[in-house]
A and B are shown apart, each in its own frame.
Chain A
Amino acid sequence: IAGITQAPTSQILAAGRRMTLRCTQDMRHNAMYWYRQDLGLGLRLIHYSNTAGTTGKGEVPDGYSVSRANTDDFPLTLASAVPSQTSVYFCASSKGENQPQHFGDGTRLSIL
């Protein structure tokens, strides 16, 4: 079934540890995005990529990095996790910049 897959589904992590959230899509979408969603707030864009080989910073990029080596994969790395990064992380993709975004099921990350 075509779609977007995130892993892990959930994770508890000690502060200071490094963590990579994985995101893979098989829809051949050009654009990919990482968001975090916190209770009572709207989705906030962390990083995005309009096409393989390029990335850009969103609204809340500090403490996070991404790479886009190919069309399908867009991993998000927390170099040294802090408790304020506790959140639900959603990866999304779209055919183009003004096309609907399709979301993965999310990763629930708790930093202790």
Chain B
Amino acid sequence: GQNIDQPTEMTATEGAIVQINCTYQTSGFNGLFWYQQHAGEAPTFLSYNVLDGLEEKGRFSSFLSRSKGYSYLLLKELQMKDSASYLCAPMDSNYQLIWGAGTKLIIKP
């Protein structure tokens, strides 16, 4: 079957760095997306990885290892506005996104 595993909740301090891990099992693979979702709002696109390695985009970076079925999202210089849920979503062979329940990130001053 298809499965996504992310921590349910994480807490970090403003200004620090946090890594959100995601392991997945899918039928086929066409890349992996990370989305941010603030409470009561729509998900917004953060990053896309299709090849192994690190993709950096400002304060956010995303890493993929296809052989391990593993990805992480790295957030640097945390700000209070980064408090949100982070959704890991690999794409299967039918080009459908498989969504995890997300990781709720709480930033403390």
Provide 12 A-B residue pairs closer than 8 Å at the C-beta atoms, listed in order of the A residue: A42-B4, A42-B87, A42-B98, A42-B101, A43-B89, A45-B96, A45-B97, A48-B96, A98-B50, A100-B45, A101-B45, A102-B45
Q: Please tell me if the beta carbons of B45 and A90 are within 8 angstroms of each other in the complex.
A: no
A44 to B97, CA, bound (A): 9
Taking the complex as formed, is A105 at the interface, i.e. its CB lies under 8 A from any CB of chain B? yes
Contact residues, A81-106 vs B (CB, 8 A): 90, 97-98, 100-106
Contact (Cβ within 8 A) A43 B99:
yes
Q: Across the interface, do A98 and B99 meet the contact criterion of CB distance under 8 Å?
A: no
Are the C-beta atoms of B95 and A42 separated by less than 8 Å? no
Given contacts A58-B96, A98-B30, contact A41 B101 (CB under 8 A): yes
Q: Count the A residues whose beta carbon is within 8 Å of the partner chain — how many?
A: 19
Tell me, in angstroms, the Cα distance from A90 to B37 when the chains sit together.
12
Chain B's interface size range is 20 to 34
Q: Is the CB of B100 within 8 A of A42?
A: yes
A45–B91 CA distance with the chains assembled, in angstroms: 12
Q: Chain B at the A interface: mostly helix, strand, loop or mixed?
A: loop
Cβ-defined contact, B91 with A98, below 8 A: yes
Answer yes or no: A53 CB below 8 A from chain B CBs: no
A103 to B41, CA, bound (A): 10
In the A-B complex, the 8 residue pairs with the closest CB atoms = A42-B99, A97-B95, A103-B42, A100-B45, A43-B99, A42-B101, A42-B100, A98-B30
CA distance A45 to B42 in the complex (A): 15
Interchain nearest-CB distance for A2 vs B (Å): 15
Can you add 16 more A-B contacts, CB < 8 Å, to A43-B87, A102-B45, A106-B41? A40-B101, A41-B101, A42-B87, A42-B99, A43-B43, A43-B89, A44-B99, A58-B96, A90-B42, A90-B43, A97-B30, A98-B30, A98-B95, A100-B33, A100-B45, A103-B43
